[in-house]
């Protein structure tokens, strides 16, 4: 639905047109929209069906005896019928026909309800859109905070980049461990880790007093700045190839690369 169609349907002109309450200028506007908008034509057809249904619901079935009374009256008056000039006929006021007032009130209610329903739909749509934008904004703000924290960590003079790189059968291999002794924290940049052979994984270990302590199982290529376990007494970092999803002890014969801390 275009913006023009949406504004038009919210204006209530279509309902007024269906009830023959429009000015000539308004009628011309409505007919123009009906001529060029399939969406408006569908809305008008639905409105016509609703009006017809309402008229049927509000219609009152005449009493069974009324037909006989009318026929009897016609027979009695057939011989002495008077002819009245057309202009002399009077119209009974609408208050003689309460059912007409009921139908008119029902039609007015239908128009109001249709307008309010469209307003409600638009309000709900705008609310959902606003909630979605707030969620996106919240996520963006959280991501921005995380990036600012990472940047501050990388720019800290106490952060040292420890680079583990090599070129083996699986291709170029590079991991950077950003090591900060003052904060007791380490972040891993694993963008340069190639996929491990099937059933295998790369695992990072810290040598602490001659014992290999697991730091992290390295994620596939594409991950960046992943937090890992920090060991303050580590003297070196070592990467081995282990059976997936990781091992509780290092396989030194499958050492890929190492670097001193």
Model pLDDT, residue 242: 93
The answer to whether 254 touches 200, Cβ cutoff 8 Å, is no
Rounded average pLDDT over 153-173? 85
Q: Are residues 98 and 17 in the same domain?
A: yes
Q: Are residues 181 and 69 in the same domain?
A: no
Model pLDDT, residue 89: 43
Question: What does the block give as tokens for 125?
Answer: 């749509």
Q: Are residues 174 and 118 in the same domain?
A: no
Q: Are residues 163 and 124 in the same domain?
A: no
- Domain range spanning residue 209? 159-260
Residue 114 to residue 17: CA distance in whole angstroms = 14
Residue 140 lies in a domain: no
Each residue of 36-92: pLDDT tens digit? 888 888 888 887 777 676 665 555 555 555 556 556 655 665 555 454 454 444 444
Q: What are phi and psi of 59, to 5 degrees?
A: -65, 140
Rounded average pLDDT over 152-172? 85
Domains held by the chain: number: 2
**119 upstream amide cis, omega within 30 of 0:** no
In the sheet with 211-217, reading across from the earlier edge strand, the strands are 211-217, 200-208, 234-243, 255-260
To the question of pTM greater than 0.85 for the whole model, the response is no
Model pLDDT, residue 223: 57
Q: Are residues 114 and 196 in the same domain?
A: no
Model pLDDT, residue 142: 78
Question: What does the block give as tokens for 205?
Answer: 């270990």
* Closest listed residue to residue 261, CA positions, set 161, 192, 135, 131: 161
Q: Are residues 123 and 198 in the same domain?
A: no
Each residue of 93-138: pLDDT tens digit? 444 445 555 555 556 655 656 666 566 566 666 677 777 777 777 7
Question: What does the block give as tokens for 132?
Answer: 């979605």
Q: Are residues 13 and 111 in the same domain?
A: yes
Residue 146 lies in a domain: no
Residue 223 lies in a domain: yes
Each residue of 216-244: pLDDT tens digit? 998 765 556 888 899 999 999 999 999 99
The answer to whether 256 touches 202, Cβ cutoff 8 Å, is yes
Q: If you average pLDDT over each of 118-122, 140-144, 249-253, which comes out highest?
A: 249-253
**245 upstream amide cis, omega within 30 of 0:** yes
Q: Are residues 82 and 180 in the same domain?
A: no
Q: Are residues 124 and 164 in the same domain?
A: no
Question: What does the block give as tokens for 145?
Answer: 């905070």
CA atoms within 13 A on the CB side of 143: 6
Model pLDDT, residue 88: 43
Q: Are residues 123 and 169 in the same domain?
A: no
């Amino acid at each position: 639905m275009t913006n023009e169609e949406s504004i038009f349907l919210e204006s209530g002109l279509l309902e007024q047109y269906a009830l023959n309450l429009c000015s000539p200028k308004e009628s011309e506007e409505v007919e123009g929209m009906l001529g060029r908008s399939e969406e408006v034509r569908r809305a008008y057809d639905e409105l016509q069906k609703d009006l017809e249904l309402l008229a049927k619901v509000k219609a009152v079935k005449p009493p069974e005896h009324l037909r006989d009374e009318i026929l009897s009256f016609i027979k009695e008056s057939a011989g002495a019928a008077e002819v009245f000039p057309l202009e002399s006929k009077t119209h009974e006021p609408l208050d003689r026909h309460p059912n007409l007032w009921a139908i008119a009130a029902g039609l007015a209610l239908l128009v109001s309800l249709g307008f309010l329903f469209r307003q409600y739909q638009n309000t709900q749509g705008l609310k959902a859109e606003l909630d979605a934008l707030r969620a996106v904004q919240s996520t963006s703000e959280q991501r921005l905070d995380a990036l600012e924290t990472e940047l501050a960590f990388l720019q800290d003079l106490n952060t040292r980049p420890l680079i583990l790189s090599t070129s083996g059968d699986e291709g170029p291999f590079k991991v950077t461990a950003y090591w900060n002794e003052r904060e007791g924290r380490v972040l891993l940049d694993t963008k340069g880790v190639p996929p491990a052979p099937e059933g295998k994984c790369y695992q990072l270990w810290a040598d602490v007093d001659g014992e290999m302590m697991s730091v992290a199982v390295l994620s596939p290529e594409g991950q960046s700045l992943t937090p890992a376990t920090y060991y303050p007494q580590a003297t070196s970092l070592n990467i081995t190839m282990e059976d997936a999803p990781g091992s509780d002890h290092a396989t030194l014969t499958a050492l890929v690369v190492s670097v001193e801390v």
